[in-house]
Amino acid sequence: MISDVVIVGAGPNGLMLACELALTGLRPVVLERRTGPSTEQRANGLVGQVIPMLHRRGLYERLTGHPGAPSPTSGHVFAAFHLRLDELADNPMHILLASQQKIEAMLGERARELGVQVRGGHQLTALDQKDDRVVVDVDGPEGPYRVETRYLVGADGGRSVTRKLSGFAFPGVTDDRSVSRTAAVDVPEGLRDPGTGGLRVPGYGLIPPFRHHRTERGVVAWAPFPDGRNLITASTDARPPGAEPVTFAEVMEAVTYVLGAEVPLLPPTGPEPHTLRRLSGGNTRIADSYRKGRVILLGDAAHVHSAMGGPGLNLGLQDAINLGWKLAAEVRGRAPEGLLDTYESERRPVAERVIMHTQAQALLAGPGPAVTALRALFAELMEEEGVVRRLAALLAGTDFRYDHCGPFAPDLGALTHTGRPLLVDNTGALAGTAAPWRDRVDVVTAPGVPAVLVRPDNYLAWTDGSAESLETALSRWFGRPAQETI
């Protein structure tokens, strides 16, 4: 039996894609080399457009534990500058603090509810791409086996085995100058600022929470999470790593160097695991293609970049939501010509913009007096509301418009939970035009919303108003009318 889709990697991106495919009725198989949840501390939250998109699927509430739509945040950071966003009338920026483990657990639970098979302890070892399928060799707990699939998706991270076995090139640059060190800490009484949650460092001053705090020696980030965890990170070019594993003392020595003052934080005493890591350098790379035949790359397997500003999951999860409905249409034989190619043509430019602005942020937050002078000029520019608005849209991922497609659709509430295309028709005048597509497009009413055609990823496919242009949009995105396929 040939599987419709096999996904390699049960991180957030792979699980999100599995959920999107399952909403269409497919039952993907997810292969994950880990046998349990990861103990590695990675992303600490979500930033940008993906947060309202998760709300459109009913998943935001599962992460927060309470009902209601997300609200824009009053502030964010760009290159260790504070962005005040509360005065923007059209503020696009959302932030949700949640560990990657929590995000994965939520998406894994949702995937199981939808009938997705997640195979822990199963590792891809080889693949052979045929004209009509991909033959996949897997090493599982009970020994090696083989599975055949119509499409194979690599969501297996920056060191993607899928990418390497399939022959994708991964051009870019490696910067090995900076070293980042992070530790979980306990905070002695009196060091935490009660008003802001910031860290008061004797002899230095206040380190605001959840921002990159720059000095001419590097950057410090202080993160007191709502669940009680406290993390501190120091990044600098001037403290090369040794050969020994990172220690708590090494992290604190780096923090002291960057600030020029000793920070009397303590080793953590709460429940393990406790974050303690050292990351040397970083990669900025993007695959030469997102698809080779029946093998597709997703998330970090397709692109890696600096974590400055926290755009990684915003980018990868929206990759998954963009790909899901298109791949499902291809598997079912309903996709119009070239639909699957729009996954790359739409998402690659977004990745290129993320790479651009994270590289720019890393340079602007770097050490040295020349950078300090540049920051002084940049700070003057950021006094302009138009500059703040543009940076907020850049960080949120709302500044980019897909070709032949409108902006993000109005919030339609629970109507978008199904992941199906929606035609909003409050008058009934368009139902007849859309009737030949009723097997794949739902006609709905939504008071106060104009007549629009909404793609499954919640971007507008049509807003023109004429029946003829609606037919064109329906054919372009959702294939030929039903009577033409009989």
Task: Report the run of H or E that residue 129 belongs to, with start and end.
Answer: strand 123-129
Q: Which of 211-215, 269-273, 294-298, 318-322 has the lowest mean pLDDT?
A: 269-273
pTM attached to this predicted model: 0.92
pLDDT given for residue 45 in this prediction: 86
What would the mean pLDDT of 381-387 be, rounded to a whole number? 95
Asked if residue 347 has pLDDT above 50, the reply is: yes
Residue scoring higher pLDDT (201 or 38): 201
DSSP secondary structure code for residue 339 in this structure = T
pLDDT given for residue 42 in this prediction: 67
What would the mean pLDDT of 342-347 be, rounded to a whole number? 98
What would the mean pLDDT of 93-119 be, rounded to a whole number? 94
User: Which band of pLDDT confidence, cut at 50, 70 and 90, is reported for residue 242?
Assistant: confident
Asked if residue 212 has pLDDT above 80, the reply is: yes
Bond from prior residue into 273 cis (ω within 30 degrees of 0): yes
What would the mean pLDDT of 68-84 be, rounded to a whole number? 93
Question: For the chain, what percent of residues have pLDDT higher than 90?
Answer: 81
What mean pLDDT, rounded, does the chain reach?
93
User: Which band of pLDDT confidence, cut at 50, 70 and 90, is reported for residue 39?
Assistant: low
Asked if residue 485 has pLDDT above 50, the reply is: no
What would the mean pLDDT of 23-48 be, rounded to a whole number? 86
Q: Parallel, antiparallel, or unpaired for β 134-140 and 143-154?
A: antiparallel
In this structure, the dihedral spanned by the alpha carbons of residues 160, 298, 110 and 223, taken in order and rounded to 10 degrees, is 80
456 CB contacts (<8 Å, ≥6 apart)?
Answer: 20, 321, 324, 325, 419, 420, 421
Pair 291, 297: CB distance under 8 Å:
yes
pLDDT given for residue 176 in this prediction: 79
What would the mean pLDDT of 49-65 be, rounded to a whole number? 95
Pair 104, 38: CB distance under 8 Å:
yes
Pair 154, 301: CB distance under 8 Å:
yes
Asked if residue 486 has pLDDT above 50, the reply is: no
CB atoms within 10 A of CB 385: 12
